[in-house]
Amino acid sequence: MMSSKAKRIVYFGYYVKKLNKELFRKFLKYAQEQTGKTTLSIWLDIFRHSIQYNTSILEYFQFGFYKPNCSEKEKAAWAGTGFMYEFQGFMNPRKYRDLLEDKTVFDKTYGKYMHHNAISLEDLEKDPTLADRVLANPSGKIVFKIKDGGCGKGVEVHEAKKFSASSITRFMKDNHFDLVEDFVQQHEVINRLAPTALNTVRVITQLRPNGVVDIVGCRLRISVHGVTDNLAAGNIAAIIDPKTGVIVDNGVYSDITKHEEERHPVTGLKIKGTQIPFWKETISIAKEIAAIDPRNHSVGWDFAITSFGPDLIEGNREWCKLLFQLPAKKGLKSILENYRKEFN
């Protein structure tokens, strides 16, 4: 069996291969300006931290490891990519991943909790008239998705009037989309805060060995300019009190060169103190759906909050460690380690 250190060296090779070089250069320049360190010294420091703390190259910057005042205790508290790969791989075995990763399978399993139309290409080919359901949705927009997309990838929003029942199927085939859905109209409270995209609530659940479902964390993803709400797309996220549904701190970016936002940078509305509507209903549904499939124990559920209540969008087996920890402004690995120990 490969040692822990050997595994982390292998992981590091993967991080280098998958590195977003443009973002790395941006972060590197910023860190050099803040610390006066050379490129070589920062690279050596990145490697040391990656092996010691099981983190990726970009996480060295995002977790603040480059800062002189960041203690070893603070660094050890962060759950990095390597840790999350191992934790989520254990909690959500790969052989059961289709239920959450294949959106066509997900929609059929959890359709009861989805209050918007979601139609697969396969179903459209069998019955083209199904397209009328999404084309007639009150928003006037439709959303195309790939079945295994994530982090806002493989998503396009279009005006419904551009399509007919026949052309929508052809468009999906030509552009390799697997699903077409209604564009969900969010609650006015959320829409006033950030109107450019659907802003989803992430509720992370943990199904424990005794069958009890815990709420591990809740976050609101807040769009800034674009049509998605993902942190990776330059948006912000804020922490929600799981008991009250109130945002309890400012919004943060995953981009270290940007400061946290007390108010939305476009609308000017204050982020902290915002009450998420239908909060009790959202948490109740999250706990209910987390128990449906006992093979997946740790899931990040995304909800749109509409004027009619929570609308389930998707479930994520590889939920984002940045979205979980950055709004909290500290590492939260110990929470996950404690859940892992329960399965020993």
Would you list the DSSP string of 130-163? Answer: GHHHHHT-TTSEEEEE-TT--TTTTEEEEEGGG-
Q: Among the listed ranges 90-104, 144-158, 181-195, which one has the minimum average pLDDT value?
A: 144-158
| 110 domain residue, yes or no | no
Q: Please check whether residues 208 and 266 belong to one and the same domain.
A: yes
pLDDT number for residue 150: 56
Confidence of residue 103 (pLDDT cuts 50, 70, 90): confident
In a domain? residue 81: no
| Domain assignment present for 284 | yes
Residue 83 included in any domain:
no
Residues 324 and 266 in one domain: yes
77: pLDDT strictly greater than 60 = yes
Count of domains observed in the chain = 3
Q: Are residues 308 and 218 in the same domain?
A: yes
Q: Please, what sign has the CA dihedral across residues 119, 282, 204, 254?
A: positive
Mean pLDDT of the residues in the chain: 94
Could you tell me if 177 and 199 lie in one domain?
Answer: no
* Closest CA relative to residue 57, chosen from 257, 72, 86, 66: 66
- Is residue 263 located within the same domain as residue 333? yes
Residue 87, pLDDT score = 97
* Domain-located, residue 43: yes
Residues 97 and 66 in one domain: no
- Mean of pLDDT values over 315-320: 94
Instruction: State the CATH number of the domain containing residue 132.
Output: 3.30.1490
**What distance in Å separates the CA atoms of residue 171 and residue 145, rounded to the nearest whole number?**
12
Q: In this structure, which amino acid lies at residue 170?
A: R
Distances from the Cα of 113 to the Cα of 281, 311, 343, angstroms: 11, 6, 29
> Could you read off the pLDDT of 131-155 as tens digits, one per residue?
998 998 888 899 998 876 555 567 8
| Structure confidence at residue 152 (pLDDT) | 55
Instruction: Please tell me whether residues 150 and 38 are part of one structural domain.
Output: no
Same domain membership, residue 242 and residue 97: yes
The last residue of a domain, from among 182, 210, 225 = 182
Q: Write the CATH number for 273.
A: 3.30.470.20
285 lies in some domain: yes
The pLDDT, as a whole number, for residue 117 is 87
Both 174 and 245 in a single domain?
no
Is the per-residue pLDDT at 174 higher than 60? yes
User: pLDDT digit string (tens) for 230-262?
Assistant: 999 999 999 999 999 999 999 999 999 999 999
Asked which of 182, 200, 224 is the last residue of a domain, the reply is 182
pLDDT of 49 strictly over 80: yes
Query: Is 193 strand, coil or helix?
Result: helix
Q: Which residue has the higher pLDDT, 105 or 63?
A: 63
The per-residue pLDDT for 189 is 98
Last residue of a domain, one of 182, 215, 234: 182
Amino acid code (one letter) for 179: L
Look at residue 28 and tell me if it is in a domain. Answer: yes
The answer to whether residues 211 and 333 belong to one domain is yes
Return the pLDDT at 11.
Answer: 97
Q: Are residues 155 and 200 in the same domain?
A: no
41 and 164 assigned to the same domain: no
Per the domain annotation, does 87 fall within a domain? no
Per the structure, the complete domain to which residue 48 belongs is given by 4-76
Q: What is the pLDDT of residues 254-308, one digit of tens each?
A: 999 999 999 999 999 999 999 999 999 999 999 999 999 999 999 999 999 999 9
